[in-house]
Amino acid sequence: MVDADHLRIVFQVNDVEFVMPVADLLAIRGVDEDDLTPLGQSSESFQLGSLTYRETDVRVYDLALLFNLMAENSCEEGPLLIFAGSNCPWAVRVNHIVGVFDVMHFEFQDLPAYMFHDEFVPYHQVALHDGKLLVSVDSQKIDQVWQRDA
């Protein structure tokens, strides 16, 4: 049996690679598997819409907008990753999933404390994997952003 606590999923959003614990992941939904209900007028600036997952309304958020990533390679057609949230699941659309790797293949580095002094930064680590620098995030920190924005 595989221990999910030691696994990380690597995915790409607008040419930036992210790494997250697999234990935070509830599901991967392929392209065209879900009907995304577009968002009408809302005060939630990062929310794109919603979908139904296991009879639960799941909000779909724009990770590219949160990280101010340019929209050259927009994620409008990519797979959806559904994560556990503090109150309910939430999802993000990604360009593609690079893979799932054991945590021992990553070298994690905390960001300097001065980066958190004046503004909220939704991640506290970066990771080196296969010679690439990745943004290391977890569902709790990202969920705080979505809750804060609500």
Domain harbouring 111, CATH code: 2.40.50.180
Q: What is the pLDDT at residue 142? A: 86
Least trusted range by pLDDT, from 8-12, 22-26, 142-146: 142-146
Q: What is the pLDDT at residue 87? A: 84
Q: Is 69 a residue whose pLDDT tops 60?
A: yes
Q: pTM of the prediction? A: 0.85
Contact 91, 36 (CB under 8 A): no
Domain count, the chain: 1
Q: Is 104 a residue whose pLDDT tops 90?
A: yes
- Provide CB contacts within 8 A for 50, sequence distance 6+: 36, 37, 39, 57, 58, 59, 60
pLDDT per residue as tens digits for the range 125-134: 999 999 999 9
The residue to which tokens 């234990």 are assigned: 23
Q: What is the pLDDT at residue 105? A: 95
Question: Between these two residues, 48 and 33, which has the higher pLDDT value?
Answer: 48
SS3 for 26-39 is: EEEECCCCCCCEEC
Question: Between these two residues, 124 and 97, which has the higher pLDDT value?
Answer: 97
Give the distance, in angstroms, between the CA of residue 61 and the centroid of all CA atoms in the same chain.
9
Segments forming the whole domain that contains residue 52: 4-149
- Provide CB contacts within 8 A for 55, sequence distance 6+: none
